[in-house]
Each structure stands twice: as structure tokens, then as C-alpha cells.
Amino acid sequence: MVADTAPSSLTVAPSRSSASLCIRAWLARRSEAVAIPVGAAALGFLLFGLFLAALGKSPVQLVDIVWRGGFGSPFALGNSLQRAAPLLFAALCVALPARLGLVVIGGEGAIVLGGLAAAAAAQPLAALPALLAVPLMACAAALVGAVWIGSVGWLQAYRGVNATISSLLLSYIAIALANHLIEGPLRDPTSLNKPSTLPVGDAFMLGPMPVIGVHWGLGCGVIACLIAYGLMDRTTLGFAARIAGGNVRAAQIQGLPVGRLIVGFTALGGAFAALAGFFEVVAVQGTANGTLAAGYGYTGILVAFLARQNPIAIVPVAFLLGGIEASSGLIQRRMQLPDATVLVLEGLLFLIVLMSETLYGRFKLFNPHLWAEKRAPAPPSPVLA
């Protein structure tokens, strides 16, 4: 169990100054948010190791391969970071609406349409200098994504349609629409085996970032996470969203514009997801084609839940999962395992981390309001569930 991190004897001596107690209480609360997900993820890896062992494969070899394929060399690291970039954006598409209590799982559709919009916008903008045209392409992508996922929020707020279901349906519709456009009106006639749109052109392609050598989507993704963190935790808008997510009635009585908050946060999430598609087109593929629907939207859901919808935590989690997915090919070749191996691991991690939600507030180590319990009856808990 995860509880093994808790020391057995933890008492608060009465002589301690209240300042040090405050610091320790603050540290305890903070470390709970790290220790429980990390412990849960460790348990998930352990169970997956047992699963592999039961199939006669070596879990130790898997760890070794994931390390070498995802993190061990500059090349592997670059590969992982390149995969992490779309995951950052896709996870924000889950985390931002989650602040309002919405479970949006249709980021894949926004990614595909965003990439398509960027590629389509490149043609009329071809005469402009790249410095002007590329941001405009990003805007086109973001706009399409914002409308697409924003309509999920609008349907929830004003029509009462469940966002989880409508977002996934819209994602299927988006992929069908993109397939139609890529194989029909927007198809490059010279793309025979792999239907694609016209290439955006070398002038509009983004190069790698200095020093890191990974495309700009990574840097922009990290910045997007920081912006989302600032918005959610440092502005009144984010505070209002959190109130609305906790209790809609209370928020309405306070006079908060719940409907507009929902539409705004879902639209912003959709815009971010669409930027993942934009970067895939202008930094990796060069055209919009079927590989846009590579499953980043679905892995992004996992990233957001593993990060417990915290935009800062999304950065390391996206890096970890990017690395695991980057080593997928090596796992197949070296261990003769199917390509779905990573899916099984991801599903298992997802399940265990969701289950670990029930552990918050249970461990004495992390919950200062439980410390004094032996001496006096506990004061009413100030921590809201």
C-alpha cells in the first residue's frame, strides 16, 4: 500500500513554536499531493510488472528498455520531449474544464481540426512573410479548436447536455469531417498513398528550439501550462471557476456568470488542444493527414488525471508519458510484445491513480488537523473536500 511512507510515531510536542508547526503543516499538506500520486503510479508499475512476469517476460528488462528508449540518451530524450509537446496541450484541454467540474474527453477532435485549419490557412497566407503568416495559422487553429470544444461547454451550460458524452461524439464527428476534407476538397492531388493536404511549405515550417533541439511546440506547451496555472490559481476568474466547479448553486447565488465561465474555460481548453495539432503540422508533418489522430488527445486525458488537473504537474507527467510512448517501438522489438503494451500500462496507471483519490485526508502524516487528535477533540476540519 501507499501508506508505507508514513512513519509510525509522529507527535507534535507542545513546546514547538507555532511558526514551525505552521511550516510543517504546510509542508505536510503539500507533500500529500505529491506522495499519493507518486505512490499510486509506483503501484501501477509494480502491478504491470507482475502482469509481465505472469506472461513470462522480464519486468526488469522493460524498465531498462523504457529508460533507454525514452530517457537514456540525448536522442531518446529529444524523441520523448517531442511526444510530450502535444500531450501538454491535450492535457490542458482536460484540466481547464475540469476546474468547473466538466469531464471533457474529446481533445482528439480539436487536435485534428486544429492541424487541418493550420494547413488550410497556409494556402491563402502563402504570400505573407512567415513571421506574420505562422501566427495567423496558429490563430486559425486555436479559433477552430475554441469553437469546437467551446460548443461542448455551451451545450452543457445552456442545454444540459453531458460534456463527457458530447465531447467524445464531437471528436468522432471531427475526425470524420477531417477525413472527408483531407480526402476530398483539401487533398493534395500528388499525395497518392497517404492522402494529405497541400504542404504548408518550408518557409512556414518551425525549426527546433536552441539548446534543447526540440520543436517550439514544447516551449509553447510549457508556457501554456504556466499561463493556465496563473489563470486558475492566481486570478479572480480562476477562483470564480473553482467556486462554480465546487457548487453551481452557490456560484449562481453569488451572481457568478457560470454559463460564460464554462464556455470560456472549455473554449480555452479547445484552443490549446488545437495548438497541439498546429505544431504537429508546422513542426513535424508539414501537411495535415491521418497521423494527426495519433491518440494524443486520449493520452492527454490520462496526463491530466495523473497530474490531478494541476497545470504545473502536467509538465513532468507529460514528459514521463511521452518517454513511455517513445519507447513503445523498442518494447515491441526487443521483448516481442504487442504494440498495445503501453496502452495496458496506461490503463492500469489511470485506474490506480483514480482509485488513490480515496486516500486523500486519510494519512495522519499529511493531515495536520489529525495531529492533535489524541489530546483534544479535533477542531472542525477547515479542509473542504
By CB under 8 A, name the binding residues for another protein. Answer: 103, 105, 155, 157-162, 164-166, 168-170, 172-173, 176-177, 179-180, 183-184, 298, 301-302, 305, 337-341, 343-344, 346-348, 350-351, 354-355, 357-358, 360, 385
* Minimum gap (Å) between residue 343 Cβ and another protein: 3
Smaller CB separation from another protein, 61 or 162:
162
* Minimum gap (Å) between residue 51 Cβ and another protein: 9
Smaller CB separation from another protein, 12 or 248:
248
Smaller CB separation from another protein, 3 or 340:
340
* Minimum gap (Å) between residue 368 Cβ and another protein: 19
Smaller CB separation from another protein, 175 or 214:
175
* Minimum gap (Å) between residue 162 Cβ and another protein: 6
Smaller CB separation from another protein, 212 or 354:
354
Smaller CB separation from another protein, 6 or 103:
103
* Minimum gap (Å) between residue 105 Cβ and another protein: 6
HEC string of the chain equals CHHHHCCCCCCCCCCCCHHHHHHHHHHHHHHHHHHHHHHHHHHHHHHHHHHHHHCCCCHHHHHHHHHHHHHCCHHHHHHHHHHHHHHHHHHHHHHHHHCCCCCCCCHHHHHHHHHHHHHHHHCCCCCCCHHHHHHHHHHHHHHHHHHHHHHHHHHHHHHCCCHHHHHHHHHHHHHHHHHHHHHCCCECCCCCCCCEECCCCHHHCCCECCCCCCEHHHHHHHHHHHHHHHHHHHCHHHHHHHHHHHCHHHHHHCCCCHHHHHHHHHHHHHHHHHHHHHHHHHHHHCCCEHHHCCCHHHHHHHHHHHCCCCHHHHHHHHHHHHHHHHCHHHHHHHHCCCCCHHHHHHHHHHHHHHHHHHHCCCCHHHCHHHHHHHCCCCCCCCCCC
Smaller CB separation from another protein, 110 or 155:
155
* Minimum gap (Å) between residue 300 Cβ and another protein: 12
* Minimum gap (Å) between residue 282 Cβ and another protein: 25
